[in-house]
Amino acid sequence: MPSKDLPDDHDPLRRIPPTDSDHLDYVGQQGLAVAQDTLIEPDPVKREEARSLWGDAWRELRRRPIFVISAVLIVLLVLIAIFPGLFTDTDPRQADLSRNYLRKPDWADVFGAGWFGYDGQGRSIYSRVIYGARASIIVGVFVTLAVTLLGGVTGMVAGYFGGWVDAVISRVIDIFFGIPLLLGALVLLNAFTTRTVWSVVIALAVLGWTQLARVMRGSVLTVKQADYVVAGKALGAGTSRLMLRHILPNAIAPVIVVATIALGGYITAEATLSFLGIGLQDPTISWGVDISSAQRVIRTAPFALFFPAAALSVTVLAFIMMGDAVRDALDPKLR
């Protein structure tokens, strides 16, 4: 008899005490449930908030300073990326060699063109720092989205179905792993004569998805063996239901953690590629490119390297801090 998906209100897994949390089956939550501190039982008089992994995680996150700081930074950076005009009036490409060649920063000119000084082509460093955010954020965000989607799906399929499907997918993952990210991106990007942000996104995504596929696969393998999944199967839950409702919510936590941290890595990768001259090029404004050109004048004008480098570091830092905070919040063992 073919198993069929059971409609929600008849799903036996839902009959266990209802909780406040929205879309997760109670039993499904138990998979990664908060380690029940047996000394603290729910207050019988006052109905407390249901303890679920995501509810708890959010509560945990809110109270950590590291999360708040990184969240604020990220919001600021995204704003800068989308609306650079809000932060500076100066045209980042406007070059005035005669007047502004390596002109030193004018600290009094807050948010002005000369605040961070001028680079070797007479362009406002402050303005270029502001406009450079866009490239980094776009690359970071879109590569992460792409690899999470691609890697997540592949990893889930490999982990869930096992057998030869898993064998084939795992070998493919291994193959991509054998090629270092930077190297592969170097070779790929070398083929493009004009390189835009999207070229870089594609190159990094094509080479980087395997990392997340592995994490997802490992996570699914663990979750797959949990009792509630076996129970679901025994009760006739279909493949897609099992995958989406029971396995995915519990397997995804490590993937999210790795993805958030990897985001920082992709931003660094783009900057490194641009630095090597093989990433973004004019007219795209990139911190990596600016750092590269600033190499030559590092002794006379260290500020030309410092500001884009600082901006880059702070951006990566923000995402990695966020990743740290998310991981700590999602890990019940670290309480």
Q: Using CB under 8 A, list all residues that contact another protein.
A: 38-45, 170-172, 174-180, 182-184, 186-188, 190-191, 193, 264, 268, 271-272, 275-278, 291, 295, 298-299, 302, 305, 309, 312-314, 316-317, 320-321, 324, 333-334
Residue 149: CB atoms within 10 A of its CB come to 13
Task: Please state whether the peptide bond connecting residue 7 to the residue before it is cis, i.e. omega within 30 degrees of 0.
Answer: no
Minimum distance, C-beta of residue 194 to another protein, in the bound complex (Å): 12
The residues, any chain, with a CB within 8 Å of residue 86's CB and separated by 6 or more, are: 79, 80
Minimum distance, C-beta of residue 289 to another protein, in the bound complex (Å): 12
Which residue lies nearer to another protein by CB, 86 or 302? Answer: 302
What's the one-letter identity of residue 53? L
Query: Which of helix, strand or coil describes residue 95?
Result: coil
Which residue lies nearer to another protein by CB, 181 or 237? Answer: 181
CA dihedral 126, 130, 135, 138 (to 10 degrees): 160
Minimum distance, C-beta of residue 162 to another protein, in the bound complex (Å): 15
Which residue lies nearer to another protein by CB, 42 or 94? Answer: 42
Which residue lies nearer to another protein by CB, 38 or 225? Answer: 38
Burial of 31 (0-12, 13-18, 19+ CB in 10 A): buried
Minimum distance, C-beta of residue 21 to another protein, in the bound complex (Å): 20
Asked if residues 10 and 244 have their Cβ atoms less than 8 Å apart, the reply is no
Cα 55 to Cα 166: distance, rounded to the nearest angstrom: 33
Which residue lies nearer to another protein by CB, 87 or 176? Answer: 176
Which residue lies nearer to another protein by CB, 190 or 239? Answer: 190
Minimum distance, C-beta of residue 215 to another protein, in the bound complex (Å): 14
Minimum distance, C-beta of residue 186 to another protein, in the bound complex (Å): 5
Q: What is the CA radius of gyration of the chain?
A: 24
Cα 209 to Cα 245: distance, rounded to the nearest angstrom: 24
DSSP string, 237-283: --HHHIIIIIIHHHHHHHHHHHHHHHHHHHHHHHHHHHHTTSS--TT
Which residue lies nearer to another protein by CB, 114 or 288? Answer: 288
Asked if residues 180 and 208 have their Cβ atoms less than 8 Å apart, the reply is no
Minimum distance, C-beta of residue 285 to another protein, in the bound complex (Å): 17
Nearest to 222 by CA among 194, 254, 244, 200: 254
Cα 60 to Cα 40: distance, rounded to the nearest angstrom: 17
Minimum distance, C-beta of residue 309 to another protein, in the bound complex (Å): 4
Minimum distance, C-beta of residue 236 to another protein, in the bound complex (Å): 28
Which residue lies nearer to another protein by CB, 167 or 244? Answer: 167
H/E run at residue 169: helix 163-177
Which residue lies nearer to another protein by CB, 65 or 85? Answer: 65
